[in-house]
Structure 1
């Protein structure tokens, strides 16, 4: 246990400029921290830090340990959750990584129901690109990922994939909502807000538009769903989103969802991903089942 504590402390040290700063973050005395680092150096049989007048610096051995440390600690935390399962405990933490475009619309209702049935389980939710999601599963910092166009990875298994049609999301009085307003020649002349090119949904949209002979250059690039919705409402931009991402706005009549023309069908794969070779905790397995049920309802 002392070695595990020392590893946690060293992980904090790698993000600080001095032992005193790290000790302050950990809320322990600097001498206590120094003792743990010395014990870790003794165990590794190598110096991990160089101390100087300008602060601390990682040695080559320290750099090597730091590079592997996050995954090591995440794996240890995962083992602790599995041990809790063996003891009959049903608490712990489930890490979930989601594409922001579906996090609030699809994932949050599932998490709300899950929390009511398992009040002792905490959920750590992060958002980002599909590549971010794959890295999070690979380094064991999350248990599940719900993302668009999951890139292939030997460490990740896609357990469920559905195809979601995307719509042109617009202010209700935008010309695109009128007859003929969504024709291919008209689309290129509008103001658009799209996620950046790092997002699989953007890459797919650009390809489909090019194949249809429609060149769309976004006025705004924003990965945040909130920013996209704000730019639709206040700047009159058009966004490309599933209806579920703006369900409240559609119900209130503050936004409209217009189908793309038949010559330019836009849909994205929504993938539920899990680690390929890591045993899930009780809580992670239950949340996975809830998500699978929710996705089946979407597909129906």
Structure 2
């Protein structure tokens, strides 16, 4: 088999098709004919003697072999980009790019604060911050679309290096004048008399909340359900009722006295953890490595 470097046309076209899930969309992004993309992938499949893509009614997905090749190619591409950055003189942290993916709660206060503090020492470092669901954060890191991910996790994930962890225990969040604000701990049953604001089912907060309620036979009718955590926190701060969150997501608001967080003592609500994730086996660029260390320090505080 002929060895393919990361810059080979066939492999580059294959990676774009995997990203897009469609040969036609990949051809548009590459600005080449779809037939040329198909020929290059067919050539790659002949060389490797295995199918790399599975055709579906609405596009294509990688086969098992294609998934393994895509993971390897992503790592090689990222390593190649790092070498290029170092050759351009970026390794001294005068310039650089850090791509972050995170869940919404961490994007409101925590990550902007860490970025601002970091750039006081490294003003040439630029950031991109994508907000998505917890599982999507991990997927961005696995696929090389994000350098670092800060997310909630319920289980170990393949091709992920966990660089730091913190308890992601769910807490009840209320305004300082709320009747529950003086308590040192609560159970889910204690929340039943009060209006409740919950996130959507694709969040780990909601998933663990629903599981624990099911185990205990508890039933809630939330007065507010939203995919916007800012709206839920504001609802609680205005005295509208109880929201659910982790301490880290609200650290600055708790410090400023806008909200009060109360531990929930029910078994199972501490099952998740906060993870700082990077791609397993990848040597990170200097700017990313430096910011990762800053994040680890901030998480520890």
1:195 aligned residue: 199
Larger Rg: 1
| Secondary structure of the structure 2 residue equivalent to 1:271 | strand
TM-score between the two structures when normalised by the length of structure 2: 0.68
- Residues 1-300 of structure 1 correspond to what in structure 2 (within 5 A)? 1=7, 3=9, 6-7=13-14, 10=17, 14-15=21-22, 23=28, 28=31, 32-33=32-33, 36-37=36-37, 40-41=40-41, 43-44=43-44, 64=63, 71=71, 74-87=74-87, 88-90=89-91, 91-163=95-167, 167-177=171-181, 186-205=190-209, 215=218, 217=220, 219=222, 220-232=224-236, 236-243=240-247, 245-246=249-250, 255-260=258-263, 269-297=273-301
Q: Deviations over 1:222-281 (max 9, x none)?
A: 34312322443679231122455345655776x431524767896563222233322222
Shift of 1:132: 2.5
Q: Retained in 2: the 8 A contact 1:194–1:240? A: yes
Cα distance between partner residues in 1 of 2:43 and 2:24:
23
1:138 to 1:243, Cα distance in 2 relative to 1, 3 A: closer
Distance 2:205 2:98 in 1: 26
Q: Structure 1 unaligned runs (5+)?
A: 50-55
Change (3 A) 1:7 1:45: closer
The count of residues paired between Structure 1 and Structure 2 equals 280
SS of structure 2 residue aligned to 1:259: strand
Q: Secondary structure at the match of 2:180?
A: helix
Structure 2 CA distance, aligned partners of 1:72 and 1:130?
23
Moved more, 179-188 or 198-207: 179-188
Distance in 1 (CA, whole Å) between partners of 2:52 and 2:164 is 44
| Contact 2:205–2:245 under 8 Å retained in 1 | no
More helix by share: 1
**CA distance in structure 2 between the partners assigned to 1:115 and 1:265 by the alignment:** 38
Quick check: 1:97–1:145 contact (8 Å CA) kept in 2?
yes
Aligned to 1:52: none
Give the unaligned 5+ runs of structure 2.
1-6
1:74-130, Cα deviation, whole Å (9 max, x unpaired):
435412332135424235543322232223322221222334444444433223343
Q: Deviations over 1:186-232 (max 9, x none)?
A: 42121212234443334444566778x69362514434312322443
RMSD: 4.5
Residue pair 1:209, 1:216 contacting (<8 A) in 2 also: yes
Q: Secondary structure of the equivalent of 2:146?
A: coil
TM-score by length of 1: 0.68
